[in-house]
Amino acid sequence: MGAHMARRAVGDVVSVWRNTCPSSATRWLASLMVSLPECAKTQSLRPADRSWARAGASFRTSTGAVVSLPPAYTPGAREMYCRDVYLRSGLTMPSGGWVIDLGANCGLFAVWAALTGAQVVAVEAQQGFAAEIERLAAHNEVNERVHVEVAMASGVTASGAAVGVVADDQNWSATSHGAPSRPADVSVPELMSRYQIDRVGLLKVDIEGGEFAVFGDSDLSWLEQVDQLALEIHLAYGDAKSLIEDIRRLGFTVELQDNDGDRVAVTSARLEYAYCIRQ
């Protein structure tokens, strides 16, 4: 294992210990010891994650909320709750108001936001995830604060079905939870109107290149009603420099990072995350 991968692994082990409830952390560390040869061979800690996949796990998030995950929900939990990839660089989870989660998947972020006290609109294009989000919200007793929308996140004029990974028919047909046909588009302004939202405390965007549709319109004035933006950037699907310039022009400070949390330039091939806070 190279020095870079070793540094990431050590950081993940420390973050698991700090952010996972004691019984879940103990099971994971025991599994790590058993699976060390496999972890070294694959250069991944996923073999240790199998202990959570068998018994579920609970996590102490950076906001103090404790999220309980049944076994089927644990993939991605280490990235979400231990590495805290969406709330680095000073972003905070609102304890009230509204959070919009574009690319909600099975609901890990949406449920965390609801447990912290926000009302959440969870937008997911893969239709089969809707029931999973609702089940996880009910499991954590926040189903009244999680509002699920099955839709393609889009711009007002730019279609979410036309940009990003799932714009390709073969990729869409290979999704784990997608139906044969893509759902309708929905833009952030449409969501704000539908739920009568006058202020978005945090907008989280992880939609596999579809971010270039969401931010692809010439009129992004709706961003003036957003306080924070956690954005995953997929460089193959658009012009990251132009996207970031537009966000900065609308009054945000922006920090750019790679997957390990190191700062990078907007031109870097390692750029993966943009953390944006309204000035």
**Is pLDDT above 90 for 43?**
no
* Separation between Cα atoms, residue 150 and residue 126, nearest integer Å: 7
Are the C-beta atoms of residues 149 and 140 closer than 8 Å to each other? no
Domain residues for the domain of 61 are 1-70
Identify the residue with better confidence: 4 or 143. 143
Q: Are residues 66 and 106 in the same domain?
A: no
Instruction: Tell which residue, 188, 191, 196, 195, has the closest CA to residue 224.
Output: 188
**Is pLDDT above 90 for 3?**
no
* Separation between Cα atoms, residue 167 and residue 13, nearest integer Å: 36
Burial class (CB in 10 A: 0-12, 13-18, 19+), 58: middle
Are the C-beta atoms of residues 60 and 72 closer than 8 Å to each other? no
**Is pLDDT above 80 for 247?**
yes
Are the C-beta atoms of residues 256 and 264 closer than 8 Å to each other? yes
* Separation between Cα atoms, residue 269 and residue 259, nearest integer Å: 11
By DSSP bridging, strand 98-102 and strand 57-60 are unpaired
Q: Are residues 135 and 246 in the same domain?
A: yes
**Is pLDDT above 70 for 2?**
no
272 in a structural domain: yes
* Separation between Cα atoms, residue 193 and residue 8, nearest integer Å: 42
Indicate the pLDDT class of residue 207, thresholds 50, 70 and 90.
Answer: very high
Predicted local distance difference test score (pLDDT) of residue 8? 77
Report, as an integer, the average pLDDT of 98-119.
98
Q: Count of domains in the chain?
A: 2
Listed range (7-11, 67-71, 174-178) with the worst mean pLDDT: 7-11
Q: Are residues 65 and 96 in the same domain?
A: no
Of 47, 70, 93, the position where a domain reaches its end is 70
Q: Are residues 142 and 234 in the same domain?
A: yes
* Separation between Cα atoms, residue 244 and residue 272, nearest integer Å: 12
